């Protein structure tokens, strides 16, 4: 029987196993409670659908309590594009807040252009490699889990393009209404003058789905999005 060197074979098997593991269910839906300084203000439902080649993420926020009385408490967002070897490659991101017109960001990868449509205006600018939108960034780790100590990315929406650096803060156990999760926590690194903080918890044993996102605004306001249910 012909023998093989175990090193290359083992490495190849590990790569294949990792690639197979780095793909979430073809459809998964996460429900969240969104709180404002500790008071639940909205329910968010985000749904990912993909076929291994293309994807679509839909997000809908609906106000709770007093926030339910106003359209200001509602928002609908979506992201769609391709599934690549390095994760998600967005093609279009749409964002509608309350009664305001839909704002759109389109990703033209062939010409490396970002086209932004907002308030009746269209603007075009350069599109950096591996740019994400505000949905594909957090959900993209389900296809390409973080494997380094720092993550650098550009995130685009209809308002513009922002560069971020996140550090991998390490494992953390998170207790939620959907159950307890072993998570990997990411923390945004703040440059000089940046007073806005962001922390993301990814469920390391549940496809690295985003089970909590905490944003602390420059005035100290805390917007906390915590999972309450996962539907397959």
% of the chain beyond a pLDDT of 70: 87
Residue from 140, 156, 139 nearest 85 by CA: 140
Segment 129-147, tens digit of pLDDT: 999 999 999 999 999 999 8
Say if residue 170's pLDDT is above 60. yes
Counting the structural domains of the chain, the total is 1
Residue 19 in domain? no
Segment 189-226, tens digit of pLDDT: 988 778 899 999 999 999 999 999 999 999 999 999 99
* Span of 71-80, 83-92, 97-106, 116-125 with lowest mean pLDDT: 71-80
* Residue 14 banded pLDDT, cuts 50, 70, 90: very low
Long-range CB pairs of 88-97 (<8 Å, 24+ gap) are 88/55, 88/132, 88/136, 88/139, 88/140, 88/143, 88/144, 90/131, 90/132, 90/133, 90/136, 93/133, 93/134, 93/135, 93/136, 93/156, 93/157, 93/158, 95/134, 95/157, 95/158, 97/72
Residue 9 in domain? no
What's CA 214's distance to the chain center, in Å?
12
Residue 103 in domain? yes
Domain residues for the domain of 217 are 26-231
Query: Residue 74's domain is classified under what CATH number?
Result: 2.50.20
Cα separation of 216 and 199, whole Å? Answer: 9
Residue 209 in domain? yes
Residue 202 in domain? yes
Segment 95-119, tens digit of pLDDT: 999 888 999 999 999 999 999 999 9
Strands (E), 119-217: 121-126, 132-133, 150-157, 160-176, 179-188, 197-203, 209-216
Q: What is the DSSP string of 46-62?
A: EEEEE-SSEEEEEEEEE
Say if residue 166's pLDDT is above 90. yes
What does each C-alpha distance from 195 to 77, 212, 213, 214, 218 come to in angstroms? 25, 20, 17, 14, 5
Predicted TM-score (pTM) of the model is 0.86
Instruction: Note the pLDDT of residue 20.
Output: 40
Residue 8 in domain? no
Q: How do beta strands 132-133 and 150-157 pair?
A: parallel
What does each C-alpha distance from 220 to 169, 185, 198, 200, 214 come to in angstroms? 21, 21, 12, 17, 12
Highest mean pLDDT of the ranges 1-5, 6-10, 19-23, 137-141: 137-141
Residue 204 in domain? yes
Residue 105 in domain? yes
């Amino acid at each position: 029987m012909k023998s093989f060197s175990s090193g290359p074979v083992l490495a190849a098997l590990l790569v294949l196993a990792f690639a197979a593991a780095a793909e979430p269910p073809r459809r998964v839906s996460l429900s969240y409670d969104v709180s404002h300084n500790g008071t639940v203000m909205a329910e968010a439902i985000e749904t990912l659908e993909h076929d291994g080649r293309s994807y679509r993420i839909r997000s809908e926020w609906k106000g709770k309590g007093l926030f339910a009385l106003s359209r200001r408490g509602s928002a609908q967002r979506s992201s769609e594009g391709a599934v690549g070897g390095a994760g998600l490659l967005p093609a279009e991101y749409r964002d509608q807040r309350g009664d305001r017109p839909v704002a759109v960001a389109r990703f033209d990868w062939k010409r490396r252009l970002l086209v932004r449509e907002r308030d009746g205006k269209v603007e075009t600018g350069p599109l950096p490699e591996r740019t994400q939108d505000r949905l594909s960034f957090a959900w993209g780790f389900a296809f390409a889990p973080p494997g380094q100590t720092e993550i650098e990315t550009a995130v685009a929406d209809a308002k513009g393009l922002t560069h971020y650096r996140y550090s991998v803060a390490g494992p953390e156990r998170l207790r939620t209404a959907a159950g307890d999760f072993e998570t990997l926590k990411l923390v945004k690194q703040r440059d000089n003058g940046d007073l806005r903080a962001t922390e993301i918890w990814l469920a390391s044993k549940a496809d690295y789905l985003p089970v909590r996102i905490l944003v602390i605004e420059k005035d100290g306001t805390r917007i906390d999005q915590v999972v309450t249910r996962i539907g397959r």
